Amino acid sequence: DQEKCTKCGVCASDFACPAIVKATVEPGGEPAYSINPDICLGCAVCMQICPEGAIHIVKREGEK
């Protein structure tokens, strides 16, 4: 949830998951983080460590 994300970077710096991607920003701008669904294993650790509750598990089409 990009609206809840404060861009603190805990998801990327404290949890070294390759699925969490820091987006390129313009010089001086705030970073943006996203999760690459093709790499995500669905372990939900990132969801648990996000202090703002901005990460949610979204099931892919066809998943139970």
- Tell if the pTM clears 0.85, that is, is over it: no
Domain count, the chain: 1
Express each pLDDT in 8-64 by its tens digit: 889 888 888 899 998 877 777 778 888 999 999 989 999 999 999 999 988 766 665
CATH number, position 24: 3.30.70.20
Which domain does 51 fall in, by range? 1-64
Contact 60, 5 (CB under 8 A): no
Q: How far apart are alpha carbons 55 and 49 in whole angstroms?
A: 9
What is residue 62's predicted lDDT score, i.e. its pLDDT?
A: 66
Say what the pLDDT of residue 59 is: 75
